Structures are given as C-alpha cells and as structure tokens.
Structure 1
Amino acid sequence: MAYIDALQRQKTIFLTGMSGKRAAVPFHADELRAAAKKRLSAHAWAYLAGGAGDELSVAANRTAFSKVSIRPRMMRGDASPDFSTRLFGQDLAFPLLLAPIGVLDLICPEADRLVARACREVGVPFIFSNQAGTPMELCAQDMGDTSRWFQLYWSKSDDLVRSFVQRAEACGCSAIVLTVDTTLLGWRNRDLKLAYLPFLRGMGIAQYTSDPVFNALLAEGEGMAMSGTPKPAVTWATIGNLLRLKANYPGGLVKNLLRKAPLEAVRLFVNIYSNPALSWDQVYELRQQTQLPILIKGILRADDALKAVDAGADGIIVSNHGGRQVDGAIPTLDALLGIRKALPKPYPVLLDSGIRSGSDLFKALALGADAVLLGRPYAYGLSIAGQQGVEAVLQNFLNDFELTARLAGCRRVSEINEDMVSVRSE
C-alpha cells in the first residue's frame, strides 16, 4: 500500500463506513495504546510501554508538545503541497523515519520483517535495531529500495562492532546511528516488578547470533562464565524459561534441546552487549571504519552535540530513549531548542521520543528538527494487526501531518518554521 494522500484516504474511510465497516487500528494515540495493551502479555507490555523509574520522563515528553501551539496562516493556496525532504543525499517523501525498537519479537514472530515490509509499502525509512529479533540482512531483503539505517550499540568487543558496521554496509544501510544513552540499562520499575528481561530468554539477540565474530567468541568459550552473576535456582519456572530460550535460538527447540550453545550465547551477550566505558574516542574510531553518515542518538545537551560534531558525527538525534533511561531527563522537544541554536541549519538534527501525531511532527519541524523518529505507535499497530497495523499507523500519521501542515498554510517543509508556533513557558 503506497502512501495515499489525506483527502483521498478520508473519502475512502467515510465511504467504507457507509457499509458499516470501521478501521481496525485506532486513530487516536491513547486508543491505539489501549488497544495494543489488550493484545500483549504483561511482560511484553511492560517492556514496550514502560520507562525508567516513575516514568516522569515518559510523561514529560508528551507534556512538552502540549505546550507548543500552532499559529495557522490563512489563504495560502495549497493545491499542490510537497513535503519531501533530503537527508544525507537521499530523498524522503516525508521527514519521518521509524525509530529502532528492540525485542519486537515480544509482539509476534518475525516482527522486524513485518515492520520492514510495511516501511517498503508506505515508503518510510526504517532504522534496524541493534537488538532485533531478525538479522539485518533479512530485513534488508524485505525493504527493497526503501532506505534503511542501522542502530549501533558499542559492544565491549571492538571486533564485533566492526563486524556489525561491515554487515550494515553490505546489506545497503545508508547511515549508522550510534546510540550513546544505553551504556547501562535504566532502572525500569515495570520490568523489575515482573523480574523479566527478554534477552535472557534468547529474544532480541539475532544480530549477535547471526554474526561471525560473535559466533567465533562463542566457540572460544567466551560465554561460559558470567562474572559476579548468581545462577537462578532450578525450579519448574527455570526449566520453562530455558526451554523458551532454546526455542527462540536459531534452529528451534528440537535442534537445540541438548545443545549448550543457546545458553552460552545469552551469557556471552549479557557480558559484552554494552560498554559503560564508551567515550568520544569511539566516535573517532567509528569515523575511521565507515564512509556512511554517522548520527549520534541520545544527545540532550548542546555541549554534547558540539562534541559529537568535533568527533566526526554527521548528524544528531535528540532523544531521551523514550523516557526509558534517565527518569526526570529533560523532554526532547525542550532539548531540541538549545541544540538547534548551537548547531544551526543545515547541520542535520533529528528528534526522537514523544512523537505521537502529525501535529507533533509539525511542531518538531517548526522548532528546528529536520525529521523525526516515530517509535512506540508503530509497535502498537504491529500488536493490533501485524504488518497491516504498522501500515495503518504510518498512513494515519502522515495523513494527519499533511492536513495539519496544509491547514496551517504550509505547502513545503521549508515553510514550517518557528514563526508557525508559539511556546508557553509554563
């Protein structure tokens, strides 16, 4: 389903309604979220919807958008709008990409591939997650010519990092997104309450188990020991989780039933997946490894943004990880203002976290973002209706943006500027 303009799609929805049929995927953000919650297990919902601590940052991301008001211009003659943009030499129909979300396989099997196919159908770029449930190569096949980027977490193994980057290049990714705000897992109360981490069940580690460097480390026995980590008591729950781990590991339960590799792979992953010693030196190093554009995701301060530029980054993604890392962190829309001032256009600055509607996209562009990343809403659509659910969420989001921009008197992305909004201080 290629993108359908807003007026045509409205007509289709209303005419279909004459026969008593209504959309399966809700249009309103809160209703979309509620519908997804009904479809997911308690563990999956906690991981997908939860944030750090008391989730103040999750709420603050949304509140920040509510403080921005659009100031529409009238009588602008918008019969031929065009909201395309250009990023890193690539033309995008809209200034929108899908954010990387880890462990989408909590929602359904081959979830990452379903999202990739939806992006191909609608024409929206997809940022492959470092913590995907499907190897990047398979998702790349599903995307056809549609743009894809790769999100990178810097592992404790530099060789593994290099391998990920080389694989991303080989499968046609056009940018590397180094995520720097997750060198440690945030204190996530919902997951802690359930004592549940999906990686320990063999989920979200497909980029690793499909990697030659990771498998070489596994063969060398690097995953045998988890230093300082207590072993769980052997109970029926332990046995059940080990069986799930083996079922999730490549090859399936029957093939892995007597193999030690699945458990050793999880141990190795836990030991090396994230590097708390990450510094700007690694950005310099990454710059030497690839000719692809490098974006730093997780920046919330202007001084860090300037350091990223000095280290060789080609762009910044303003993000607080959807409120999942530091509870009480500055809302991303608030952080955008200072960072954009420090890095004037045309330096690319994107915004992630808190985006829920087309009007949010409009506000972000008006305050200086070159594009935005949409996260949880597409995962909610996936939960409700699979690939078609993701496509519906994307169509709804883009149609909402198109009408918002046109009704505000803007026909091009370049016309959406700070003069189009007002920001309340309280």
Structure 2
Amino acid sequence: MSTTTPPAALPLSAIPADIRNAQDYAALAPHFMAPSHHAYISGGSGYGLSVAANVAAFEQWAIYPRLLRDVSAGHTRIELAGERHAHPLFLAPVAFHKLAHAGAEIDTARAAQAVETCMIASTQSACSLEDTAAAAGPQRWFQLYLLPRREDTLDLLRRAEAVGYRAIVLTVDAPIQVANRRALAAKFQMPPDVVSVNLRGYDIAPRFAGNGPSDSRFFQGAMRGAPSWDDIRWVMSQTRLPVWVKGVLHPDDAVALRDEGVTGLAVSNHGGRSLDGAPSGLDVLPAIRAAMGPDYPLMYDGGVQSGSDIFKALALGADAVAVGRLQLYALSVAGALGVAHMLKLLREELEICMAMAGCATVADITGKALFKPAR
C-alpha cells in the first residue's frame, strides 16, 4: 500500500493478518500514513533524545518469572482515586487524531468504550469534546490546556463538566514547543481541515511578546504565559472534578503539587515533545513514588508499546499507565477496530506477564518483580 496515500483513503474493515502483538501497529503505521504525518507523530522535540530515552528506559529492566504461584483467580481490576477500572491501561491525550485516520477522535473513543478503557481526550482535538464524549465510554477524562484568557479556560472546563468527563488532566510541561526535526525534514504542514475544534471562538493569540531590544522571546516572551501555581489553585477552585497534573518529572514538584491538593499526577516527559534531553518518566518514577508514599495516585506515560512495558511501569511505582503514539498507529492501520484490538492485545500481554511473574492482581506487582542486568 502506498505510503503517499492520505489516511482518509485507507479505510479497513479487518485487522491485517500480520498483526500479532500490539507493537506491530507501530511497525505497520508508516505504510498507512502520509510520510510527513508519520514524521510529525513519531518525532519529538529537537533531536529526539527524550523520545529515545523513553524506549531505552524499558530496555534496562527484565521481569523475574516466578514458579508454582496460584494465579487462577487473577484479574487486572484497579481502583484509582476512587474510580474503579477494569484494567490499569488508559489512552493518553494525543492531539489531532485526524492526522492518522479520517475517523479521528470519534473512532478512538468508540474503541475505548468497546474495551472498557478510559480515554483522556485532548484539548487539541480535531473533533469536539462533546462529540468525543458521546462516543466514549462512561470513564472519560478531559485534558486541559490553559488558554490566555481565564474566561475561555473556564468555558472549556464547564463544557467538559456538562458532557460527563469525570476528571480534568491539566498539562503544564509544554509552555515552549521546540521544533520537531523529523517533521521539518519531512516538510510537514498541518492540513487545513485539521484544526483545534474545541478552541473555536476563543481568543488564543498570545499577548506576551517582549518589546525591548534586549528582551528574550523565551524569558520575557513564551514563559510569561506559562502555567503558574496560581493557575493550578484557580483551576481546582473552579471545579468539583478531580484535578490531575500531567508532565511531572521532579520529586520536589510532585510533593508541592500534592500539598496543593492535586488529586493525582501523570509522570511524563510529554512523549519527548517538550524539553529535548529530559529524562524518561520511567527513570524518575521510583524516586517520585518514594517521595509521594504508597497511596498517592500516579499515572505513567511515555514510550509504552507492550504489556511488559505496562508491567514494568506498574512495578516501578505507577498505579496506571497511559498509551500515546501507539493509539494513533493502530488508528491509522484499522480505525476504531485497530485501536480496540491494540488495547485488547496490550491487556492480554499484561495478563501474560502477570501470570508468568506470579502476580494475580495489579497490587501484587512491585519492584521485586524486576531485575536490572549489568550492562
């Protein structure tokens, strides 16, 4: 199949025969996306150092198989911040699903509902948050970016509440977007029909460019519009929904956010799309868990491609794990069916790891299940 054919021209009604595990969708995706779209989705900030770090972090760890353990009553159910979930696998907020498939976020939401997965819908979506909510299952969360005007942010928040999103995930780690070199090399341009539908009618133009001859366009420019502690407090004061903060990598930041009353944290380097050279969230996850204690809700995202990756993140301190790019790869290959199949495969791969490691429940997965070989 031609790699130059746009995604909208590639509908599929069946799973390709050579899909045998979830990661196969990543390998097939370049054959189902326009090359520049794939470069934009798969690439990260700058030289892609943090994208590579996310993958390498999982490769450091092995899983101990355990013998003679009775796991016949095993299951993957969890309780997270008072919500019950069939498994610890979430769909991370990812912008512009339409770059992968014409069905966009609606197809992804339908897939999530079919396999009991909580979708965290992105503010930067090609489909409205209302339409996405209508297609998603009852466990749906909304990822929020702060807009330049608080009245616009508040309106976005009220819309999310009105259609039944059950938590707000506030992203705070990407005030500056560093150029994606892979996308630049592929001459990526956002198609005219791929726009932030949720932001129509809002004033999103920045007002913070420096005017002095020595002003920095970063220090006196972009960072003047970056989220602040006052913004965190304001968002929590405006909603009764649980508020999570996404993009945490330092234990001190994690402790400060917990002390402000944030419900939970997503340990993440923004999929390698923020500060290039930032560590993988997996590498800092144990220190954040140690700082937060055993009971504070932590989610992990970044580089997850298999059930064993999910198992390792849980063992290192996460309560739940969110999948980012892999959902777009599956969407590009087979639409809603592909996303549902990918999620089913990930859950089954996790169950296999749990069973072979002697862990009947997610609560049984601890750091003792992992081995770090000498390199």
Q: TM-score range by the shorter chain?
A: 0.7 to 0.9
- 1:102-121 paired onto structure 2 within 5 Å: 102-121=95-114
Shift of 1:335: 1.1
Q: How far apart in 2 are the matches of 1:25 and 1:204?
A: 33
Is the CA contact 1:154–1:274 (under 8 Å) kept in the aligned structure 2? no
Shift of 1:190: 1.8
- 1:298 matched to 2:290? The reply is no
Is the CA contact 2:15–2:338 (under 8 Å) kept in the aligned structure 1? no
Query: CA 1:156 to 1:424, structure 2 compared with 1: closer, same or farther past 3 Å?
Result: farther
Shift of 1:108: 2.2
2:192 aligned to which of 188, 191, 201? 201
- 1:144-293 paired onto structure 2 within 5 Å: 144-145=137-138, 147-198=139-190, 201=192, 203-209=194-200, 214=202, 217=203, 276-293=225-242
Residue 370 of structure 1 aligns with an amino acid whose one-letter code is: D
- 1:346 matched to 2:337? The reply is no
Shift of 1:142: 1.0
Q: TM-score, normalization: structure 2?
A: 0.88
**Structure 2 partner of 1:12:** none
**Structure 1 partner of 2:33:** 40
Larger Rg: 1
- Deviation readout 1:147-168 (Å, 9 max, x if unpaired): 0000011111111111111111
Q: How far apart in 1 are the matches of 2:208 and 2:34?
A: 29
Identity of aligned residues (%): 37
2:318 aligned to which of 369, 374, 382? 369
**Structure 1 partner of 2:268:** 319
- 1:127 matched to 2:120? The reply is yes
Q: What count of residue pairs does the alignment treat as equivalent?
A: 351
SS at match of 2:294: coil
Shift of 1:425: 6.6
Q: How far apart in 2 are the matches of 1:205 and 1:410?
A: 42
Shift of 1:24: 3.8
Is the CA contact 1:176–1:294 (under 8 Å) kept in the aligned structure 2? yes
**Structure 2 partner of 1:406:** 355
Q: How far apart in 2 are the matches of 1:383 and 1:342?
A: 39
- Deviation readout 1:233-280 (Å, 9 max, x if unpaired): xxxxxxxxxxxxxxxxxxxxxxxxxxxxxxxxxxxxxxxx99733211
Query: CA 1:72 to 1:285, structure 2 compared with 1: closer, same or farther past 3 Å?
Result: same
Query: CA 1:391 to 1:22, structure 2 compared with 1: closer, same or farther past 3 Å?
Result: closer
**Structure 2 partner of 1:56:** 49
SS at match of 1:388: helix
Higher fraction of helix: 1
Q: How far apart in 2 are the matches of 1:414 and 1:79?
A: 16
Runs of 4+ in 1 over 4 A off after TM superposition: 225-228
1:94 aligned to which of 87, 96, 101? 87
SS at match of 1:316: strand
Query: CA 1:425 to 1:343, structure 2 compared with 1: closer, same or farther past 3 Å?
Result: farther
Structure 1 unpaired stretches of 5+:
1-20, 229-272
- Deviation readout 1:304-333 (Å, 9 max, x if unpaired): 111211222111100011111122111111
Shift of 1:378: 1.4
Shift of 1:29: 5.5
